[in-house]
């Protein structure tokens, strides 16, 4: 059995991860920590765990030296993982960081967009960007996996084949994303107050959201050129789910089947990527609770644009599910192990 | 492997059942039928099944004589199962009926409340009421299990220990229930139109809902006396979940711990019944997607009343999950097999 | 024009009141205050007021002596109004307090349930309970009106005719109430966090909610006897609205028309009370944004119970609308002045 | 008093219109019709009207010749108004058509996109496109006003100043729109079934929605050149509201203040257009129930794009409110008459 620890179990991503690991046949959870609820039984923080687990949240300041551990998941706000992780860590066990600290190769980008100094740049060279379907081979041999952001996972997977094949004008990419409220975390504030965000749709952090450079860096690798994109996130009154609507100019005239074959070239054998049938478009509802990303596209001949739609569950493929998928890769398990949840409908 | 068939897979209960059986380690689904979508792949009716199953919905008029089957689930509106099931059926395979036709021992009650004639009363004597925690022993040896209604499951389990021990005035029982909209099924009408039931709470079928006599019959067995109750269902703007708030007069002064010990007497070893800690009250959110029922109560000394709260997922413990639990009992499997879903939060 | 001030304009009740007064033909708002947003333009706190008003929120510590004012509305948490109001106040202008401080004649009840000492009991004798339809004559000559709570308004108006006519067993009254989340106010906490209360129904403060004694005191006046009731509030995922489902034993056999005539005796000429047609039951949606209360009932002959349903908009008839109605009474205006909003549907 | 009739009062737009006209000081509603509910009192179709109106819905086949009428509102699906309206109509009274039949100058566009033959093209020359802020002068002298669509109102007003001043590349325009479910009308189907669209976001009619050519035609007039745009509507789980996020390339470098002054040039004195302060972005919640459109924009220097956000209530400024505004223009009333609703929050 793989011995796993979770730092930051009481955020939404952390608890989703705990839920997945509990039902994972090859894992046992050794410990979980929480800055806010240290000392409390998890079932008091999340009532769904009554009678399911009696685990207590430790506080975050464990003695990491004495841990008998195979893999450490870190689900903390940015800036904290880089304070915790040392070189010794990555020698002793695998680390999967759900935060942003190790997602950027170009540290200046991180420091600019996150408006902070990186706490431990010496480890950046070990980090692999954990977008499983694109970086599987690199992940296998890594010890420090930077689990991608929710918007980024959905955006990059939706566009990667087009960018890789050079069929779109990369500088024309516009990503209009819609997220459920759990994406904002469990911290209380007026933005996530029920009566304020129910019966409401709004854009936020327009042209300034921190997932923008993450999408740009990864797509630029695929394209082998640097470029900027427009990214606009929106808050939508639902609990879970991200829908990405991406727009780009086509470099040449292509019909549906030609583009479909490009997607199939990359994704045909990907278990968690579902290319929907023609004219069937993704709906966050069809992926809820699961690790799937649903993708389809439409070509608008009148404007020479392609419109790509992608949908994920932000807490699963956009966070905890992908973290488990990364763990499966790291430990040479079947990638779908412990990730067989069928989307919960309705 | 147990060979299972589902009649009526494209209702919400039917598709939930299919989802549970797909992940059940001892079951293979032989066929599924649908009156509305006969001939169509299920994944076209429910997009959550893309890439997961290629099963086609047969129409409902199978040749049941040639079925190689161990268990047949029927998820149809009342009045239809009794048309389909014959004595030969129950000799050849186990039947679990999610509808109302075989729930009543007193057929007159059925015919009065459902305003219809029963199509096959000759089989009533074989039917067992499939409320697993109360009728486990009877179910084991049955061939025709009448799976309880959603409101009834939640109401009866919430009150059974009190009724059985005679500590409340049965004639004082009032059940005020709140249900998510999936309980109304997938059939379209103005009552379930989004803009009509969003931002809205209302009572319906006040003192006339068909689950009333079902609750009464079962509680009367437990009490060994006949009595009527008040039952008021409400429609609440959410997808899943039932919350039951039940009120009754106490026959004598009891404190929290005394009543708790009554509940523990019956439920302590029940996996799917969670008696919450003192002053923690059920929330439909804590059971979503799972087969649990959460129960707790409060004693109001000022009025000599006990207020019992129960919560279930109407599509799981209130329908498909309990059907699987019944199947597990029928086939002598561990009762929790295939029912390990942790409640999905948030 | 009536000169009005609002203390506590940035709570949900306060801002609703401001909205109503802005469109009131006989009122001009002289000033508004806010503890949390003192100094800020109201339109920065509530974006709905862009271009509508440039009013700034003063802080709460006005020099009340120099106010040129006809009526002062106070929309603060309990315990604060009684600190502010002095005898001089009620000589100089009318006061309508939306909080609890002056709702109870029996101060011990207030102090017990609110777990606090009353700050100024000397004014209690001047206070009138501002449930307009029941206390209209008293209100007219008062200077200090205690505006009722939201649950209480809906509960009392739903039951008053039955209690007054003595046709129900008062000790059998059970009130099961369901409220939208705006009833919990604008303060942020986990209970009102979107992802926590969306897709969720739960009971709270069972047999211990502070509106219980308020309902009891007022119904006891009407009944001319003291009695206790059971009151259970529930939180429902919607913004606005309260639905009350009240249960009581009938003292004698009555049919629908007989009870209807009792309701008509008291409410026939009440503009804001709508007795719905037989078998049409209140829905919070039908009163949203308006000052109406919709009421209907059902007699359950099987159990000799009457089930009464009432629905209001908690922020209008349950708070700000009733406050304006009280003001209209105080200033001898037509009671409907400024309260002509048609319920906003859907 | 202006005598008004409403054809099609029982759709959501029709009933909103009725609600506005009821509170309009210069209007009396002479009659209302309904294809689905002919003969029924409106209050039975929409419970919000209990005690407010006793008007009965006539069926749609009135004898229009004998109508004593000043203005006729038609709120029917496309294809029906052109069957009803004759030349005599527009001589006898003003017509405001909320449907699409008279919105297009280029009838071929209508017939292509609506896949139908126009029933009466002879009246097209009389029709004026009723986007009040842009066509006020033309509307004044018209007898047949084509009230714009909901998406189109929000899209055109959001972009008009930029297009008119030629500061953006018109061929780069992408409009990503999000609508509440009431926009889909009151007709029941699986798309608007509560459990199907709650907890769900999806795009629909991608690059093929019928509001696309309407936006194009109007923007092309303003630009004095023809061009196509990309338009993608999305369905969002809320009752009311449309948010438009529009993207375009800037033709030259402009800063926020320069663009702001362009918007102010056109909209500064427009009562119903609110240009929000810098960095404050529209939220459907801030306009709910009102006739306002809120607009703001952000310049993304990295990509040389402008992102414009607009928000309206689809049933008010997007339908019934604008219809009343058009009526006010036609009858030389103050444009805000009867449209003073403050946005209902929350």
Q: In this structure, are residues C258 and C214 in contact, taking their beta carbons and an 8 Å threshold? A: no
CA separation for the pair B326, D119 (Å, rounded): 61
Tell me the sheet residues that pair with C249: C305
Q: Which domains does chain D have, with CATH numbers?
A: 2-148+317-330 (3.40.50.720), 151-313 (3.30.360.10)
Taking any CB pair shorter than 8 Å as contact, residues of chain D touching chain C are 12, 15, 19, 22-23, 46-52, 182, 199, 239-240, 271, 274, 276, 280, 283, 285-290, 292, 294, 340, 342-346
Say if residue B211's pLDDT is above 90. yes
pLDDT at D65: 74
D104: part of which helix (H) or strand (E)? none
Tell whether the model's pLDDT for residue C62 goes beyond 90.
Answer: no
| Contact across the interface for A283 and B47, Cβ inside 8 Å | yes
Cβ(B233)–Cβ(B242) below 8 Å: no
Q: Please, which pLDDT band fits residue A66 given cuts at 50, 70 and 90?
A: confident
Are the Cβ atoms of D189 and B186 closer than 8 angstroms?
no
The reported pLDDT for the residue numbered D18 is: 98
C-D contacts at Cβ under 8 angstroms: 79
The yes-or-no verdict on residue A330 having pLDDT over 90 is: yes
A196 contacts in chain C (CB < 8 Å): 186
With an 8 Å Cβ cutoff, are B190 and D192 in contact?
Answer: no
User: In this predicted model, what pLDDT tens digit does every residue of D300-327 receive, in sequence order?
Assistant: 999 999 999 999 999 999 999 999 999 9
pLDDT for the residue B62: 75
Q: How far is A48 from chain C (nearest CA, A)?
A: 12
Res. A56: pLDDT tops 80: yes
- Are D319 and D16 in contact by the 8 Å Cβ rule? The answer is yes
CA D281 to chain centre: 21
% residues pLDDT > 70 (chain D): 100
Mean pLDDT in chain D? Answer: 97
Sign for the CA dihedral angle at B156, B158, B163, B169 comes to negative
CA closest to D294 among chain C residues:
C50
Is residue A132 annotated as part of the catalytic site, yes or no?
A: no
8 Å CB contact between B158 and B229: no
Q: Which one has a higher pLDDT value, C63 or D323?
A: D323
Cα separation, D113 vs A34, in Å, equals 57
**Which ipTM score applies to this complex?**
0.97
- pLDDT tens digits, one per residue of A5-36: 999 999 999 999 999 999 999 999 999 999 99
Query: What residue in B sits closest to C310 (Cα-Cα)?
Result: B202
Residue C65 in this model has a pLDDT that exceeds 80: no
- Give alpha helix (H) positions in chain D: 12-22, 42-45, 81-84, 87-92, 107-114, 132-140, 150-164, 194-197, 211-223, 256-267, 321-330
Mapped to the 3 state alphabet, what secondary structure does chain C carry?
CEEEEEECCCCHHHHHHHHHHHCCCCEEEEEEECCCCCCCEHHHHCHHHCCCCCCEEECCCCCHHHCCCCEEEECCCCCCHHHHCCHHHHHHCEEEECCCCCCCCCHHHHHHHHCCCCCCHHHHHHEEECCHHHHHHHHHCCCEEECCCHHHHHHHHHHHHHHHCCCECHHHCEEEEEECHHHHCCCCCHHHEHHHHCCCCEECCCCCCCHHHHHHHHHHHHHCCCCCCEEEEEECCCCCCEEEEEEEEECCCCCHHHHHHHHHHHHCCCCCEEECCCCCCCEHHHHCCCCCEEEEEEEECCCCEEEEEEEECCCHHHHHHHHHHHHHHHCCCCCCCCCCCCCCCC
Q: How confident is the model at residue C304, as a pLDDT? A: 97
Active-site residue list of B: 150
Residues 6+ apart with CB under 8 A from D89: D64, D72, D95
D271 Cα to chain C: minimum distance (Å): 8
**Cα nearest neighbour of B301 on chain C:** C207
Average pLDDT over residues D321-344: 98
To which H or E segment does residue D141 belong? none
pLDDT tens-digit map of A85-108: 999 989 999 999 999 999 999 999
Cβ contacts from A onto B, under 8 A: 79
In sequence order, the β-bridge partners of residue C56 are C41
Q: What is the pTM of this model?
A: 0.98
Catalytic residue among C132, C150, C154, C197: C150
> Measured between alpha carbons, how far is C105 from C110 in angstroms, rounded to an integer?
9
* Contact residues, chain A, for D204 at CB < 8 Å: 281
- Give which of C9, C281, C342 to mutate to test D binding, by max D Cβ within 10 Å: C342
Residues of C in contact with D294 (CB under 8 A): 47, 50
Kindly tell me if the per-residue pLDDT of C66 is higher than 90.
Answer: no
pLDDT digits (tens, 9 = 90+) for D65-119: 778 899 999 999 999 999 999 999 899 999 999 999 999 999 999 999 999 999 9
Residues of A in contact with B289 (CB under 8 A): 289, 344
Is A197 in Cβ contact with C182 (below 8 Å)? Answer: no
Looking at residue D62, its pLDDT comes to: 75
Residue pair D123/D102 in contact (Cβ under 8 Å)? The answer is yes
pLDDT score at B64 = 75
**Rounded Cα distance, D151 and D154, in Å:** 5
Percent of all residues in chain A with a pLDDT value above 70, rounded to a whole number: 100
Q: Say if the Cβ atoms of A48 and B286 lie within 8 Å.
A: yes
Provide the shortest C-alpha distance from residue B183 to chain D (in Å): 9
Subunit partners of chain A (3 or more CB pairs within 8 A): B, C, D
Residue A121 pLDDT: 96
pLDDT tens sequence across B38-82? 999 999 999 999 999 999 999 877 777 778 899 999 999 999 999
pLDDT over threshold 80, residue B337: yes
Provide the pLDDT for residue D63: 78
pLDDT at B65: 74
Interchain pair A180, C188: CB under 8 A: no
Q: Identify the CA nearest to B29 among candidates B60, B62, B63, B68.
A: B68
Q: Which chain B residues are closer than 8 Å to A289 by Cβ?
A: 289, 344
Mean pLDDT of chain A: 97
Token couple for B61: 């008029």
**Chains in contact with C, where contact requires at least 3 CB pairs less than 8 Å apart:** A, B, D
Residues of chain C positioned with their CB less than 8 A from the CB of D182: 346
């Amino acid at each position: 059995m793989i011995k796993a620890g979770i730092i930051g179990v009481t955020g939404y991503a952390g608890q989703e991860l705990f839920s997945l690991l509990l039902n994972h046949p090859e894992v046992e959870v050794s410990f979980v920590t929480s800055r806010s609820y240290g000392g409390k039984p998890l079932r008091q923080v999340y009532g769904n765990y009554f009678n399911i687990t009696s685990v207590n949240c430790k506080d975050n300041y464990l003695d990491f030296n004495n841990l008998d551990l195979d893999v450490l998941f870190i689900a903390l706000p940015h800036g904290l993982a880089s304070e915790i992780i040392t070189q010794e860590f990555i020698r002793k066990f695998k680390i999967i960081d759900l935060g942003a600290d190790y997602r950027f190769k170009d540290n200046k980008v991180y420091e600019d967009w996150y408006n902070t100094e990186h706490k431990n740049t010496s480890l950046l060279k070990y980090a692999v960007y954990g977008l499983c379907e694109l970086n599987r081979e690199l992940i296998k041999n890594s010890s420090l996996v930077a689990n991608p952001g929710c918007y980024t996972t959905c955006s990059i997977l939706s566009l990667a084949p087009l960018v890789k094949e050079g069929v779109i004008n990369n500088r024309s990419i516009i990503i209009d994303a819609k997220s459920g409220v759990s994406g904002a975390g469990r911290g209380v504030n007026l933005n996530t107050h029920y009566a304020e965000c129910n019966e409401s749709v709004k854009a936020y952090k327009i042209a300034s959201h921190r997932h923008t450079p993450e999408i740009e860096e990864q797509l630029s690798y695929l394209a082998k050129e640097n470029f900027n994109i427009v990214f606009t996130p929106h808050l939508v009154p639902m609990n879970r789910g991200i829908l990405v609507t991406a727009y780009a100019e086509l470099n040449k005239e292509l019909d549906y089947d030609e583009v479909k074959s490009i997607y199939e070239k990359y994704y045909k054998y990907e278990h968690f990527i579902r290319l929907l049938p023609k004219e069937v478009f993704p709906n966050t509802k069809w992926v809820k609770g699961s690790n799937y990303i649903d993708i389809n596209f439409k070509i608008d001949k009148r404007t020479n644009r392609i419109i790509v739609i992608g949908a994920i569950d932000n807490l699963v493929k956009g966070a905890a599910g992908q973290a488990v998928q990364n763990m499966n890769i790291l430990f040479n398990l079947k990638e779908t192990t412990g990730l067989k949840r069928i989307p919960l409908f309705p």
